[in-house]
Amino acid sequence: MSNVSTKSYVVGVDIGGTNCRAAVIDHAAGKIVARSLNIPSRAMDGEQYTAQQVVEAVRQALDNANLTLDSIAGVGVAVPGHVIPQEGKILWAPNFYGQWRGVYLAKPISEALKVPVYLGNDANLAALGEYTYGVGKGTNHLVMITLGTGIGGGIIIDGKLLTGSNGGAGELGHIIIAANHHARGGNTAYGTLEGLAQRDAITERAARKVAEGRQTTLLTPNYDRILLTPQIICDAALAGDQLSIETYEETGYCIGLGLASIIAIFNPEMIVIGGGIAQAGPILFDPIRRATQANAIGTLFSTVKIVAADLGDNAGIMGAAALAIIESAKVD
Amino acid sequence: MSNVSTKSYVVGVDIGGTNCRAAVIDHAAGKIVARSLNIPSRAMDGEQYTAQQVVEAVRQALDNANLTLDSIAGVGVAVPGHVIPQEGKILWAPNFYGQWRGVYLAKPISEALKVPVYLGNDANLAALGEYTYGVGKGTNHLVMITLGTGIGGGIIIDGKLLTGSNGGAGELGHIIIAANHHARGGNTAYGTLEGLAQRDAITERAARKVAEGRQTTLLTPNYDRILLTPQIICDAALAGDQLSIETYEETGYCIGLGLASIIAIFNPEMIVIGGGIAQAGPILFDPIRRATQANAIGTLFSTVKIVAADLGDNAGIMGAAALAIIESAKVD
């Protein structure tokens, strides 16, 4: 193989609080060609162990692709936290056991593998993944929000990932949409998008309505509000349960408020909505679109596409790969 | 003079609903060397007249600088509306009589003067002005909000002005901070930053408190709530009037909510607050800083400077000049 085609291969890694996993991506083809197993991230044991686990995941993925370290452009690593990319440093990762602060994670991985290693925030990289390989291909101005246990975001401006002055940009869950509201996300202020539209906000919204004694199919003989999930509520909504439909309507309204602000700020071509919650489909997207239109600047709303993410769970890992391609090209 | 030093001169123009004015800027020295008079913008007569007035203002400013059109890099024009810079087009200017839509203003000016003419949104260009010549010199990531009759914004990322996919970016007055609030700005949704912190929001906030029968020095024998201005309230606050102090506290709180969102989104180095309202000083800036800190992500708040604008009324005109310098250099 020539140098050029060889360097089309790149490895993306996604580290979560529990597990990490790696995938080999063929950049030119725009797809994953091999994966590692999910292996424990060992965040509670300390960063040197986590670095070892990442190294192991990278080796596994390469083995499964029948490739060696020589054939890859580099390794990109998606981390759930505030990363300073140019320093390969995790400033703060609240989801890692002990809330990692000030950890230089790129260096030990890079020393073990002898390839360049680049870190990024997972939600930022999900946006880069969708932009590079997913639904955002061909756009130049894209904003992605990822709806899950928390709400993350990523912003592409003129084809470049916005990281801000210190790597912390794109925290779209922290946008304040209803300051007087009591809801707060895990680490956010009152009335943030995360506080009002993350996983627990959705289940709480439904549980509150159930508690008000309304008629609903959610109130089965085994009903337990602790066990409610967005999936259960979504299924009920799709089957016509009014309470569940309203739960998604209200959630969509909150997300639409956030998108109206995002549109005023960025005038983006496309807003991508990803994460597990977004798989609800039209039951969520229809109210999102209505609320966005009703609250956004008309001339800017008319030119923005609001779409579902394309890459599912792979957005972060593929975005990490894209980061490694972009950053290693700068060095060359 | 050599070509290089000659091309350090550039003309900035600021068009308002009523008047327009031009200034010659020495880019290398970073200052205004001559100005036109304020002349009527004639927006109600149609764009060809406005173009003529801009041409006249540019000629006056050049005459006053003893310079000719040959010696300038170009003309930048700040417009209060949604501009598509690459087309020299005003998509929508609600403050111009008849709400201009789809007006190609750069072309007739450029044809008359035989120099390149570049349009930009006035609040966007104010940010570019502060970044290039004002308080933001030396930064790379800066966000500016301009507080006045409305609220505008401008965003500098990695040293470049963010205009978005279609020229409409930076409308920071349209950020929704309190969706349940009834207040609306002129063209904004419910509960926007503009609705809650623009000029009329401040005077209404004070007038409401006066109407509640509270003790206040604002209630003079000639008191008329229609005649209240932010300046009157500011003066009263500085003299110790509690009602007026609270008015600024609450306004600062609303602005701080917007800044907390901006910090989460951009992780900027600096936030510049300009416009007439910002001249209130610490009586406004202290509550802004407190509310921002209380609602922003801590690690991002700790690295951002929140400062008053430096260029006053000249931010837009100097930003327009900076735009012409930047854009004409691309052509060269």
How many Å apart are CA B22 and CA A223, to the nearest integer?
70
The 10 Å Cβ neighbour count of residue A209 is 18
Nearest alpha-carbon partner for A14 in A99, A95, A79, A59: A79
- In chain A, whose CA is at the least distance from the CA of B140? A165
**What is the distance in angstroms between the CA of the first residue and the CA of the last residue of chain B?**
19
Closest B-chain CA to A159: B165
Q: How confident is the model at residue B218 (pLDDT cuts 50, 70, 90)?
A: very high
Tokens representing residue B322 in the block: 């900076």
Residue A13 pLDDT > 70, yes or no?
Answer: yes
Is 50 exceeded by the pLDDT of residue A5?
no
Token pair of A233 as six digits? 């509520």
Helices of type H across B134-241: 193-197, 199-211, 230-238
Q: What is the pLDDT of residue A184?
A: 79
With CB atoms and an 8 Å threshold, state whether A257 touches B165.
no
B257 contacts A297? CB cut-off 8 A: no
Distance from CA of B66 to the nearest CA of A (A): 40
Contact A40, A18 (CB under 8 A): yes
A215 burial (CB, 10 Å; 0-12 / 13-18 / 19+) is exposed
Confidence class for position B3, pLDDT limits 50, 70, 90: very low
Of B179, B300, B304, the CB nearest to A257: B179
Contacts of B257 in chain A (CB under 8 A): 176, 179
C-alpha distances in angstroms, B36 versus A301, B32, B53, B75, B318?
38, 11, 11, 14, 14
Element (H, E) at A273: strand A270-274
Locate the chain A residue with the closest alpha carbon to B144. Answer: A265
H/E element holding A232? helix A230-238
pLDDT in tens, B49-89: 999 999 999 999 999 999 999 999 999 999 999 999 999 99
Q: Which residues of B touch A169 (CB under 8 A)?
A: 265-267
Average of pLDDT values for A21-30? 97
Complex ipTM value: 0.93
Q: How far is A251 from chain B (nearest CA, A)?
A: 13
Q: Residues 6 or more apart from A332 whose CB is under 8 A from it? A: none
Residue B1 pLDDT exceeds 70: no
A283 has pLDDT over 80: yes
* Residue A9 and residue A27 in contact, taking contact as beta carbons nearer than 8 Å: yes
Residue that has been written with the tokens 């609001």 in this structure? A306
Directed axis angle between helix B242-266 and helix B199-211, to 10°? 140
CA-closest candidate to residue B72, choices B25, B119, B14, B38: B25
What pLDDT does A1 receive? 37
Render pLDDT for A43-84 as a digit per residue (tens, 0 to 9). 999 999 999 999 999 999 999 999 999 999 999 999 999 999
**Mean pLDDT of all residues in chain B?**
95
pLDDT of amino acid A52? 97
Tokens matching residue B51: 């173009």
| Domains of chain A listed by start with CATH number | 3-122 (3.30.420.40), 135-309 (3.30.420.40)
d(C-alpha A106, C-alpha B124), whole Å = 37
- Residues A80 and B266: their CA atoms lie apart, in Å, by 18
Which residues in chain B touch residue A162, judged by CB atoms under 8 angstroms apart?
157, 266
At A308 the three-state DSSP class reads strand
For the stretch B118-151, pLDDT in tens is 999 999 999 999 999 999 999 999 999 999 999 9
Residue B4's pLDDT band, with cuts at 50, 70 and 90, is very low
pLDDT at residue A332, as a whole number: 58
Query: 3-state DSSP: chain B helix, strand, coil percent, rounded to 5?
Result: 45, 25, 30
Nearest to B261 among A167, A175, A181 (CB): A175
Nearest chain B Cα to A297, which residue? B188
For residue A299, give the nearest of B91, B162, B297 by CB distance. B91
CA distance A198 to A202: 7
Predicted structure pTM score = 0.94
Closest partner residue to B295 (CB to CB) among A167, A176, A258 is A176
The yes-or-no verdict on residue A3 having pLDDT over 80 is no
Residues of chain B with pLDDT > 90: what percent? 91
Reported as a pLDDT band with limits 50, 70 and 90, residue B185 is confident
Q: Which two tokens stand for residue A287?
A: 């109210």
Distance from C-alpha of B332 to C-alpha of B174, rounded to nearest angstrom? 37
Q: Do A164 and B268 touch (CB under 8 A)?
A: yes
A295 with B189: Cβ contact below 8 A: yes
Note whether A164 contacts B141, CB cutoff 8 Å: yes
Q: Do the Cβ atoms of B261 and A261 come within 8 Å?
A: yes
Question: Does the pLDDT of residue B332 top 70, yes or no?
Answer: no
